[in-house]
């Protein structure tokens, strides 16, 4: 299939979808692209066998509800919402309208920006699933890759859950991570993260690795947990 950006086409005659009983139809204001949006589509033969063409990619979105299903009980037309849809295998967010389950959207906070809301759902759910079941107030959390999409969310969520957060990032993003709530930041451009962790006495209750590098972090994690 090749790179997704070379295989995107605009279809102006696609009809507006109809919601099932528990679905809503959202007019999309803003969307974003996560790695999963394009990596599955770029698997060539596997993607051709697993997906039915044409595929509309995109998981995250923000927008306004224009229609609700008969059993949709807590949302109404004109509500501004954000959330995610089944953009990997179904009707994605790179569209004028998208139909989604009412359970996968949330009401937008007042005065929130559409672009900001569209960047929340996937990284937000990833972070909650990685943190909330496993930490309690006072725990120490290390976020490897604190300035990336999931890392930025992880620092903030961990702090909201009462955790003490250490993060890693490059020199350019040290102040960003601190402003989000990291009490200590390890700069991987100054020294290898493994070396820095080996030189510390701190032990963490949870490590979230959003990067996958250094590749030996998983194998040595028992030293720091």
The predicted-structure confidence for 24-73, as pLDDT tens digits, reads as follows 999 999 999 888 887 777 777 666 666 666 778 899 999 999 999 999 98
Query: The whole model's pTM is what?
Result: 0.84
Q: What percent of the chain has pLDDT over 70?
A: 93
Asked if residue 119 lies in contact with residue 32, where contact means CB atoms within 8 angstroms, the answer is yes
Checking 116-119 for CB contacts under 8 A at 24+ apart, the result is 117/30, 117/62, 117/82, 118/29, 118/30, 118/31, 118/32, 118/60, 118/61, 118/62, 118/82, 118/93, 119/32, 119/60, 119/149
List, by residue range, all CATH 3.40.50.720 domains of the chain.
127-223
Residue 189 or residue 13, greater confidence:
189
pLDDT band at 89 (very low <50, low <70, confident <90, very high): low
What is residue 52's predicted lDDT score, i.e. its pLDDT? 66
Distance CA 4, CA 35 (A): 11
May I ask the CATH architecture of the domain 4-119?
Answer: Alpha-Beta Complex (3.90)
List the one residue out of 21, 20, 154, 140 whose CA is nearest residue 91.
20
Cis peptide before 60 (omega within 30 of 0): no
Mean pLDDT of 92-96: 91
Domain span(s) for CATH 3.90.180.10 in the chain:
4-119
Q: Write down the architecture of domain 127-223 according to CATH.
A: 3-Layer(aba) Sandwich (3.40)
Comparing 91 with 75, the larger pLDDT belongs to 75
pLDDT tens sequence across 138-192 = 999 999 999 999 999 999 999 999 999 999 999 999 999 999 999 999 999 999 9
Task: State residue 162's pLDDT score.
Answer: 98
The pLDDT > 90 percentage for the chain reads 72
Instruction: Calculate the average pLDDT of the chain.
Output: 91
The lowest-confidence range among 30-39, 109-118, 122-131 is 30-39
> Which pLDDT belongs to residue 159?
97
Residue of 53, 11, 34, 29 whose CA lies nearest to 105: 29
Average pLDDT over residues 195-215: 92
User: How many residues would you count in the chain?
Assistant: 225
Among the ranges given (1-10, 121-130, 178-187), the one the predictor scored with the smallest mean pLDDT: 1-10
Q: How confident is the model at residue 125 (pLDDT cuts 50, 70, 90)?
A: very high
């Amino acid at each position: 299939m090749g790179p997704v950006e070379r295989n995107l086409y605009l279809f102006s005659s696609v009809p507006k979808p109809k919601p099932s009983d528990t679905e809503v139809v959202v007019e999309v204001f803003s969307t974003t692209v996560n790695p999963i949006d394009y990596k599955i589509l770029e698997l060539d033969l596997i993607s051709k066998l697993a997906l039915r063409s044409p595929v509309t990619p995109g998981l995250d979105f923000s927008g306004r509800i224009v229609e609700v299903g008969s059993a949709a009980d807590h949302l109404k037309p004109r509500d501004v919402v954000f959330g995610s849809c089944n953009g990997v295998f179904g009707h994605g967010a790179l569209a004028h309208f998208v139909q989604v389950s009412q359970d996968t959207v949330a009401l937008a906070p007042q005065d929130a920006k559409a672009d900001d809301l569209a960047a929340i759902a996937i990284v937000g759910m990833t972070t909650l699933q990685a943190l909330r079941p496993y930490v309690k107030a006072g725990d120490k959390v290390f976020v490897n890759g604190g300035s990336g999409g999931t890392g930025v969310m992880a620092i903030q969520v961990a702090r909201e859950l009462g955790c003490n957060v250490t993060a890693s990032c490059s020199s350019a993003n040290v102040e960003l991570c601190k402003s989000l709530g990291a009490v200590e930041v390890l700069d991987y451009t100054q020294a290898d993260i493994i070396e820095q962790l080996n030189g510390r006495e701190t032990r963490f209750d949870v490590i979230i690795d959003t990067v996958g590098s250094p590749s030996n972090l998983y194998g040595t994690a028992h030293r720091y947990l």
